[in-house]
Amino acid sequence: MSIRIKVSSALLLALCSCSGSPSSSEVAATDARPADASAASASAQTTPAASTQPAATANSTANANPSTQVPVNTANNIYALRTETLDGKPADLASYAGKVTLIVNVASECGYTPQYAGLQKLHAEFAGSGFAVLGFPSNEFGGQEPGGPEQIAQFCSSKYGVQFPMFSKIETKAGAKQSPVYAALNAATGKLPNWNFCKYLVGKDGQPIAFYPSKVAPDSPELRAAIESALK
């Protein structure tokens, strides 16, 4: 019995020594585990944020695309209107979309009538760059455009060699008979002609850019510079 007790005591001592304080390497390994776990946890937390980045990039690209996000401005768009040619045929001004135009209320018996020559020169010079003069006869100021379509066409071609588009006689002044073209020009610029040969410069998008009174000649440096700028 005494021998068994000693052996059991020895075993107890051995067991106690094995279950004693952990070694330094074990402490280090134990201390490192929380740090690794924290790093893993942090990595796991940042993963969802990273996964949302492609969606944010896609949204940013869509917002930056004018064709899908920016609506076309149709207010006062001259090229969204329809009128008639000088000989009475339907004319869709949409055919001038993408071009720069100069809209002029013309007359055959006005002191400014010689501007026809300068307008034709402008039309011929810049036509190849996407520019056109558009003539709208009007008899409102001094009754200086009394003729009919054939008379107007004959006068313009024989006297000044006009080749730019001419449209049917219209009224520019505000009222029930006002041309929709001039209603839109007025809405955009706040200006209406006060005499013959007033001019409106219209951009490629159909939006009026500027108004020029009768005294501004077609060869005016101011007007030419504005046309060249709009064509860029």
Residues labelled catalytic: 110
Helix (H, G, I), strand (E, B) or coil at 84: strand
Q: 80 with 93: CB under 8 angstroms?
A: yes
Compute CA 147 distance to the chain's CA centroid, rounded to the nearest angstrom.
41
Quick one: 147 exposed, middle or buried, by C-beta within 10 A (0-12, 13-18, 19+)?
middle
> How much of the chain is in helix, strand and coil states, percent to nearest 5?
50, 15, 35
d(CA 112, CA 194): 13
Instruction: Kindly list the strands in the beta sheet with 100-106, ordered across the sheet, starting from the edge strand earlier in the chain.
Output: 131-137, 100-106, 199-202, 208-212
Identify the H or E element spanning 40: helix 24-51
Evaluated on CA atoms 91, 77, 178, 211, the torsion sign reads negative
Two tokens at 101?
């135009």
d(CA 172, CA 176): 11
Say if strands 90-92 and 100-106 run parallel, antiparallel, or are unpaired: unpaired
